[in-house]
Amino acid sequence: MPREHRVGVISDTHGLVRPEALAALAGSELILHAGDIGGPEVLAALAAIAPVTAVRGNNDHGRWADGLPERATVRVADATLFMLHDVKELELDPGAPPPTAVVAGHSHRPGIREQGGVLYLNPGSAGPRRFKLPLSVARVVVRGAAVMAEIVEIGNRAP
C-alpha cells in the first residue's frame, strides 16, 4: 500500500494568520496557498509548519509578491496538483495529461467536486470573514495517485 502524504491547503488569508488555521494545518508535510496571501508574514507562519508552495492572487502586490507565480504544478507521490488563484482562469493544455487535482481560491466559497476525473478543491477563506461564508482550510491526503480532500471549518465565531 502506498504511503499516505498529508497536504494542507489554504487561501484568501488577506494578511490574517488565524491560530485556528495553523492548528488545522499542523501535521501537514506540505502546505499549498492558493493566493490572496496578503504579505510575507503569512508565508513565514505557514513555513514554520511545513514547506509552502504559493501562487499570487489578484490582491497580492508589491515586491514581496513579485516572485510568486500565478500558477504552479506540484507533484505529491503519483499525483499532480495544479494551483492557481481563480479557477475561472483555468486553461489546461488539451494535449497534456490532466492534473489529478486543481486547487484554487478567490471565491471564498469552500468546495470539493470532481469533473472529468479531476478533483477541484477550493479551501475557502481563512482570512477576514466575507459576507456569511464560513472560514475554512482543507486537508488533503494523497496515496499514490489518489487524492482525497476534506474541508475543515475554523474559527467560525471570530469576525
3-state SS of the chain is CCCEEEEEEECCCCCCCCHHHHHHHCCCCEEEECCCCCCHHHHHHHHCCCCEEECCCCCCCCHHHHCCCCEEEEEECCEEEEEECCHHHCCCCCCCCCCCEEECCCCCCCEEEEECCEEEEECCECCCCCCCCCEEEEEEEEECCEEEEEEEECCCCCC
pLDDT value for 81: 98
For the chain, the domains span 4-153
**pTM of the model as a whole:** 0.95
Answer CATH for 4-153 from 3.40.50.300, 3.60.21.10, 3.20.170.30, 1.25.40.20:
3.60.21.10
Note the pLDDT tens digit of each residue in 34-92.
Answer: 999 999 999 999 999 999 999 999 999 999 999 999 999 999 999 999 999 999 999 87
Q: What is the pLDDT of residues 109-159, one digit of tens each?
A: 999 999 989 999 999 999 988 878 899 999 999 999 999 999 999 976 555
> Residue 91 has what pLDDT?
86
Q: Give the pLDDT confidence score for residue 159 in this predicted structure.
A: 52
